[in-house]
Amino acid sequence: MKPDNDKSSSKKANKSSQTIILPGCTQIFQSNRVTNGKFEKFGLLHAKLFVTLIRKLQEAVKFSMSGGDWRQLNLFTGIMTFDKDSAYLYVAIPLSEITKPNRYPEFFEAAKELRTITVKIKSALGRDYSSYTGLINGVEEPTKIKKKSVLYLQIHREVARLLIEIDKNREGVPVFYTKYLYEVALNGTNKYTWKLYIILSSWKARGFYRCTVDELKEQLNINSNDYPAFSDFKRRVLLPVQKDLEKKSDCWYDCNRPGFEIRKNKKVIALCFAIITPEHEKEISDKAEYIRHLLKTYYKCVDRHLVQLQPIFINFTPATCEAILNKLISLREYFEAVKGADRCVNDIAAYTVKCLQEEFMH
């Protein structure tokens, strides 16, 4: 599998699917062991520095995915070593790419804090082991703050290997990796946005992500005792992340969608994220418009009838569309069967609206 180009404003489509990379966005590849890693004590600025670090390693990641030896680091922009035998690499982080000059001091401090934060990542030794490691060993900070100030993060080669290398199958094809957009992960305003977005990206092909509330808290490094009331967890975590992602990303979710909350004895115990994408939303919009077209063309509905049915289209899904189409077919057959009989339907539009309301507007 060859990685896509980093930047694209194009749309790639075929009859069965369509992939949209948002204009001007950079596609990132990372191993699922990084996606599923536990990043304890990460704040918003730590997350921004981390996703920028992953972006700066992308040349090495892609070189490795294509079968090259990423340790030939002189090939890569933004990565340098003072000695080819050194145990450490230095990765350049131009602060102008991630924040404004008046916030540089905050990022200097956040970078220094990264030295003390432990990360848990699945070990390359196999499923029976986990690696507990610090992300960076040191920070090279400019002595004077300038508009184009650059930080250098010092990382150990073994940590770089965990961040760069992606597993391959027997044919040498990369497997178990996540693709996401750097700008979406970077621009979140909530400290949980980057991680939940990347998790959803890893499940995007399947179209949904189901987990218990406790599992999600663990993934987001939230103490299981925090937000004991689900309403607080939803208000403080889920809704702010939804706001960060909704219609500004290549995937998002809707907390109000039917089936999102899974309950046991009235307590929310699990969540089912229906992963919405621009492609999916366009498909839904097209199907809803098709239903409206049918109602106007064959069921004599006018605008006032469609207004009455508007609640059906608020949480419209492909399953809803199929059910409505089946209902309209059965109504059409019924109208034909009773035509000219004593029980014929005189007001087809009103009858259709009433039937759809009774079945789809509980």
3-state secondary structure 145-157: CCCCCEEEEEEEH
CA neighbor of 182 nearest in space, from 38, 24, 44: 24
- At residue 85, φ and ψ (nearest 5 deg) are -95, 5
Let me know whether 301 and 271 are in one domain: no
Let me know whether 138 and 38 are in one domain: yes
DSSP collapsed to 3 states, 213-273: HHHHHHHCCCCCCCCCCHHHHHHHHHHHHHHHHCCCCCCECCCCCCCCEEEECCEEEEEEE
Let me know whether 38 and 122 are in one domain: yes
pLDDT at 22: 64
State the average pLDDT over residues 296-325: 88
Locus of tokens 């059965």: 330
Share of the chain above pLDDT 70, in %: 93
**Range scoring the smallest mean pLDDT among 125-129, 248-252, 292-296:** 125-129
Do 66 and 211 contact (CB within 8 A), yes or no?
Answer: no
Let me know whether 272 and 284 are in one domain: no
Instruction: Kindly calculate the radius of gyration of the chain based on its CA atoms and give it in whole angstroms.
Output: 26
CATH number (domain holding residue 241) = 1.10.10.10
171: Cβ contacts below 8 Å, ≥ 6 apart: none
Let me know whether 223 and 352 are in one domain: no
Tell me how far apart the alpha carbons of residues 125 and 106 are, in angstroms, rounded to a whole number. 37
Separation of first and last alpha carbons in the chain: 47
Residue 74: pLDDT over 50: yes
User: Using CB atoms within 10 A of its CB, is residue 40 exposed (0-12), middle (13-18) or buried (19+)?
Assistant: exposed
What confidence category does residue 229 fall into, taking pLDDT thresholds of 50, 70 and 90?
very high
Tell me how far apart the alpha carbons of residues 248 and 283 are, in angstroms, rounded to a whole number. 17
Let me know whether 261 and 334 are in one domain: no
Tell me how far apart the alpha carbons of residues 45 and 42 are, in angstroms, rounded to a whole number. 8
Let me know whether 65 and 109 are in one domain: yes
Do 178 and 29 contact (CB within 8 A), yes or no?
Answer: yes
Count of domains in the chain?
Answer: 3
State the average pLDDT over residues 290-299: 93
- Three-state SS for 53? helix
Average pLDDT, the chain: 88
Let me know whether 149 and 265 are in one domain: no
Q: Taking the model in full, what pTM does it have?
A: 0.77
Domain boundary (148, 168, 187) is at 187
Which amino acid, residue 98?
I
Let me know whether 204 and 296 are in one domain: no
| 31-49 pLDDT, tens digit each | 999 999 999 899 999 999 9
Let me know whether 103 and 160 are in one domain: yes
Q: Which residues of 142-176 are buried (b: 16+ CB within 10 A; e: fewer)?
A: eeeeeeebebbbebbeebbebbbbbebeeeeebee
Residue 328: pLDDT over 80: yes
pLDDT at 23: 65
Q: Which helix (H) or strand (E) holds 40?
A: none
Domain boundary (132, 154, 187) is at 187
Let me know whether 263 and 321 are in one domain: no
Let me know whether 58 and 124 are in one domain: yes
What confidence category does residue 322 fall into, taking pLDDT thresholds of 50, 70 and 90?
confident
> Which range marks the domain in which residue 260 is found?
192-276
Using CA atoms, how far residue 55 sits from 79, 132, 277, in Å, is: 11, 22, 23
Domain boundary (276, 308, 325) is at 276
